[in-house]
Amino acid sequence: MWSSPTICLSFALVLLATTFSGSAAHNITEILAAFPDYSVYNHYLSQTKVSDEINSRQTLTVLVLPNAAMTALADKQPVAGVKNALRLLTLLDYYDSAKLHKISQGTVLTTTLLQTTGNFQGNLGFVNITDLKGGKVGFGSTFPGARLATTYTKSVKQIEFSISVLEVSAPILFSGLLDAPTANITESLEKAGCKTFANLIVSSGVLKMYKAATDKGLTVFAPTDEAFKAKGVPDLSTLTQLQLVTLLQYHAVPQYTPKSSLKTTKLRLSTLATNSVGNYTLGVTSSGDDVSIVTDLDTARIANTVVDSTPLCILSVDHLLLSSELFGSAPAPAPIKISPAPAPESEAAASAPSPDLKSASPPMFEETPSGAPESPAGAPEEETAADVKTGDGKMLKMRSTVGLVWLFSFTLAF
């Protein structure tokens, strides 16, 4: 029989696990900062923002490489390729030394952060862990014919039920892992249902500005075609060329911030439109897996990841980002159609007397008495393959947390 204190304890543990699964209880950057042997690894975790993905999850194992091995891995590789390798080294299950040596049947496939991206076919995002003879533990890709070329060398740090950090001898690799295909921005946007935006950035020349800014990191918020047709969207054909350029620059921030990083962003983001006269910043709010970009005038929910190739990230959003600098305190309520690619030199451009937007032009759209901005009804609730997979990962992770807790309670009961 289970004594009532044991049942109480089990219940408390379940509660504890439930509480912790909601918010991150660890900071991988801080954990690794205490170990100079992994400073290069830590640097790349931050640069690629894999650290944010790790911090937003529970029940995982980070396989770290000592500095020499990490330097060799990153040498002459595109950062996007290094990011893939780091994701494959992050197992979505908790393994400490004891558990590694107690794998049932001596071999197991375990999922990793790479699998959550949906960018690799089949189970390439899984890692084979095998308990080898002589107490050694080997890790390898599931790629046909791959060897178990990575071995466990030592335990670094454990926070029980949350995160385990283990050192391994070498990266886990497979052919294609480190490739970073250069994204064709317009093509990717068109495929993702952002054709209007793609046409606008090409015809206005802003695409060139985006490309020039990419090296130092760039995140673009691309409104979907539905967003351009939504009620309350101002008539973009009345904008001067300069205003249109500013609006499009307002849709990009000069840093690499994928969705997982935006979730933890608290500061306002400066955009490419920010200059000496205009304060073109964006706010970020998130709730669970939902992340929204907030301006003074509206809120745009992130729909999909269109391109995520460090240092470039393109996210589609379900609403245009309207800056109060350009559009006054409320957008014009009238539903107005815009042409997909307005001619660069419009009549409005000719009538704009000065390039200084803020001081020369009054807000384009004055507040009207009846002009309460309407939120677009029926905003598409799309989920990316990656999002769906992330969900699966979480389910799996939660199940394993609960499993561990029950195992623990069970052990205590006897």
d(CA 33, CA 137): 26
In the complex, the smallest distance separating the C-beta of residue 46 from ligand NAG, rounded to whole angstroms, is 8
Site for ligand NAG, residues 84 to 113, rule: CB under 6 A: 107-109
Cα dihedral 37, 155, 129, 45 sign: negative
| 39 touches ligand NAG (CB under 6 A) | no
For ligand NAG, which is the closer residue by CB, 94 or 126? 126
User: How large is the angle between the packed helices 206-214 and 195-204, nearest 10 degrees?
Assistant: 90
Verify binding: residue 29, ligand NAG, rule CB under 6 A: yes
Structure tokens at 14: 């379940």
Decide: is 340 part of the binding site for ligand NAG (CB under 6 A).
no
Structure tokens at 42: 């830590």
Q: Return the number of the residue (4 or 287) whose C-beta is nearest ligand NAG.
A: 287
CA angle 183, 171, 29 (to 5 degrees): 80
3-state secondary structure of 151: strand
Nearer to ligand NAG, 14 or 341 (CB): 341
Tokens 């490419």: give the residue: 272
Q: Rank residues 46 and 368 by Cβ distance to ligand NAG and give the closer one.
A: 46
Stretch that binds ligand NAG, among 28-36, 68-76, 303-311, 360-368 (CB under 6 A): 28-36
- Give the shortest CB-377-to-ligand NAG separation in angstroms: 28
Task: Return d(Cα 257, Cα 413) in angstroms, integer.
Answer: 46
Q: Residue 338 is which amino acid?
A: I
Residue 270 binding ligand NAG, by CB under 6 A? no
Judged by CB under 6 A, the residue of 268, 340, 343, 385 near ligand NAG is 268
Q: Of 26-34, 211-219, 321-329, 406-414, which part binds ligand NAG (CB under 6 A)?
A: 26-34
CB closer to ligand NAG, 55 vs 219: 55
Report if residue 281 touches ligand NAG, rule: CB under 6 A.
Answer: yes
Q: For residues 340 and 296, what is the distance between their CA atoms, to the nearest angstrom?
A: 25
SS3 content of the chain, % helix, strand, coil (to 5): 40, 20, 40
Per-residue x/- mask for ligand NAG, residues 126 to 165, rule CB under 6 A? --x-x---------x-------x-----------------
With b meaning 16 or more CB within 10 Å and e meaning fewer, what string describes 8-43?
ebbeebeeebeebbeebebebeebbeebeebebbbe
Interface positions with ligand NAG (CB under 6 A): 27, 29-30, 33, 55, 107-109, 128, 130, 140, 148, 184, 186-187, 190, 264, 268, 279, 281
